[in-house]
């Protein structure tokens, strides 16, 4: 989308529309960066109407960054009550402590300094820098993504990082080509993009193009495609991983290996597991790498295991080997011992297969 350009005329019409139509919100126009920060964090997961009252209460009791840094955790949770996602409140307090220690209780004005603070990501840093300080940096939220996608009739998936990056570049390019815009203009422009998305270029149903300052230039409106732009891909399902399990055993005992100390099933024991579906030759090779020579290989039933974001599709093979004396980084368990051992449920099908609990 970055080949698209926003003209000064379009930006002027948008800011003029904003001046006339902006909502009266308690954090708007106070000139205090603390208000911009607080409201942006509160608005991240909560509706404007629900935030308004909370914001006033919060602001009354904690009028500045120093008081926020010193509030007790209990009181903070009470003030946040009803808004959910309590980690936002904890991060606010943590960040207030950093601001007290590093900046004398004042929010810095540069994007680069802001983004280093706890709980402040690129969007919030951009919002504070541009709305509170009038710095020419983008703040791209869902509203801005939608509005610009429609303006340029761009079908890039708005879930993708590319869409966000492209929108940021359009705004940066606009600022580069129009140096010398005043801080008030920049502050209004950032808010106007968001406000247009919230009030006019709405996400669900048809946008209110008749009330939009861009309706004579908006490509989605002119081509009647606003109903299908922006494009948003379906949420990805679980990732599927193919695995091969080698159940290496001798007459009496089964081999288990410890998984790495980090990641999925960290530190737990499993049958020897490998990424992908191994061929017979690969199975023999991997068995030899473990120091065994396969006497007999038998295919076992396939199985699946579902984790939250991941699904294992497993092929399994029983590898009968001669007597196993010892294994350097594994366990050798009899059927009975295995039945009592905490093997992850991903492998329960094979535990049952051997009727190990009998
Ligand atoms: S004209 Fe319609 S689709 Fe285009 S930006 Fe305005 S409200 Fe959105």
- Is the per-residue pLDDT at 1 higher than 50? no
d(CA 110, CA 104): 16
Q: What pLDDT, on a 0 to 100 scale, did the predictor assign at position 355? A: 60
Query: What CATH number does the domain located at 239-353 have?
Result: 3.90.79.10
- Of 17, 192, 197, 220, the residue with max ligand 1 atoms within 8 A of its CB, to mutate for a pocket test, comes to 220
pLDDT tens digits, residue range 132-155?
A: 999 999 999 999 999 999 999 999
Per the model's pLDDT, the better-predicted residue between 183 and 354 turns out to be 183
Tokens in use for 122?
């690129």
Q: What pLDDT, on a 0 to 100 scale, did the predictor assign at position 358? A: 42
> Pick the catalytic residue: 5, 40, 53, 251?
40
SS3 content of the chain, % helix, strand, coil (to 5): 45, 15, 40
Name which CATH class applies to 8-222: mainly alpha
192: exposed, middle or buried (Cβ count in 10 Å: 0-12, 13-18, 19+): buried
Q: What pLDDT, on a 0 to 100 scale, did the predictor assign at position 342? A: 67
- Is the per-residue pLDDT at 357 higher than 60? no
Q: How many CB atoms lie within 10 A of CB 82?
A: 9
For the segment 261-280, the average pLDDT, to the nearest whole number, is 85
3-class DSSP state of 313: strand
Residues in contact with ligand 1 by the CB-under-6-Å rule are: 147, 150-151, 200-201, 207, 209, 212, 214-215, 218, 220-221, 226
Among the residue ranges 214-218, 240-244, 353-357, the one predicted with the least confidence is: 353-357
pTM of the model: 0.68
Q: What pLDDT, on a 0 to 100 scale, did the predictor assign at position 47? A: 85
Per the model's pLDDT, the better-predicted residue between 253 and 82 turns out to be 253
Closest residue CA from atom 2 of ligand 1: 209
* Catalytic status, residue 40: yes
Q: What pLDDT, on a 0 to 100 scale, did the predictor assign at position 2? A: 57
* Domain residue limits, the chain: 8-222, 239-353
- Is the per-residue pLDDT at 332 higher than 70? yes
| Cα of 171 from ligand 1 centre, angstroms | 17
* Closest ligand 1 atom to Cα of 209: 2
Sheet strands (E) in the chain:
239-249, 253-258, 269-270, 272-275, 294-306, 310-321, 330-334
Q: Average pLDDT of the chain? A: 90
Q: What pLDDT, on a 0 to 100 scale, did the predictor assign at position 206? A: 87
- Of 14, 206, 209, 223, the residue with max ligand 1 atoms within 8 A of its CB, to mutate for a pocket test, comes to 209
What sign has the CA pseudo-torsion 70, 76, 80, 85?
positive
pLDDT tens digits, residue range 35-72?
A: 999 999 999 878 898 899 999 999 999 999 999 999 99
For the segment 323-345, the average pLDDT, to the nearest whole number, is 78
In DSSP terms, which residues pair with 245 in a beta bridge?
273, 316
Per the model's pLDDT, the better-predicted residue between 290 and 328 turns out to be 290
């Amino acid at each position: 989308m970055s080949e698209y350009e926003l003209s000064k005329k379009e930006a002027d019409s948008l800011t003029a529309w904003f001046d006339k139509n902006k909502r009266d919100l308690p954090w708007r126009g106070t000139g205090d960066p603390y208000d911009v920060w607080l409201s942006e964090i509160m608005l991240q997961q909560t509706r404007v109407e629900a935030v308004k009252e909370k914001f006033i209460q919060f602001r009354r009791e904690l009028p500045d960054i120093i008081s926020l840094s010193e509030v007790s955790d209990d009181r903070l949770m009470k003030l946040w009550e009803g808004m959910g996602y309590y980690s936002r409140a904890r991060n606010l307090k943590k960040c207030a402590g950093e601001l007290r220690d590093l900046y004398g209780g004042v929010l810095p004005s540069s994007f680069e300094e802001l983004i280093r603070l706890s709980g402040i990501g690129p969007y919030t840093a951009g919002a504070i820098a541009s709305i509170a300080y009038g710095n020419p940096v983008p703040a791209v939220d869902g509203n801005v993504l939608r509005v610009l996608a429609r303006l340029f009739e761009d079908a890039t998936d708005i879930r993708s990082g590319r869409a966000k990056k492209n929108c940021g570049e359009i705004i940066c390019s606009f600022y580069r080509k129009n140096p010398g815009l005043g801080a008030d203009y920049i502050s209004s422009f950032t808010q106007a993009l968001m406000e247009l998305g919230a009030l006019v270029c709405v996400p669900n149903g048809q946008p209110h193009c008749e009330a939009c300052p861009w309706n004579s230039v908006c490509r989605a409106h002119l081509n009647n495609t606003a109903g299908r732009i922006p494009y948003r891909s379906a949420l990805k399902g679980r990732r599927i991983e193919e695995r091969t399990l080698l159940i290496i055993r001798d007459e009496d005992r089964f081999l288990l290996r410890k998984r790495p100390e980090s990641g999925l099933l960290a530190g737990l024991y499993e049958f020897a597991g490998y990424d992908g579906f191994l061929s017979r030759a690969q199975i023999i090779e991997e068995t030899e790498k473990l120091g065994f020579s396969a006497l007999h290989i038998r295919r076992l039933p396939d199985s699946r295991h579902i984790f939250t974001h991941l699904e294992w599709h497993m092929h399994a093979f029983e590898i009968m080997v001669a007597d196993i004396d010892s294994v350097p980084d594994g366990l050798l368990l009899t059927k009975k011992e295995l039945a009592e051992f905490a093997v992850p449920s991903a492998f329960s099908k094979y535990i049952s297969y051997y009727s190990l609990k009998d």
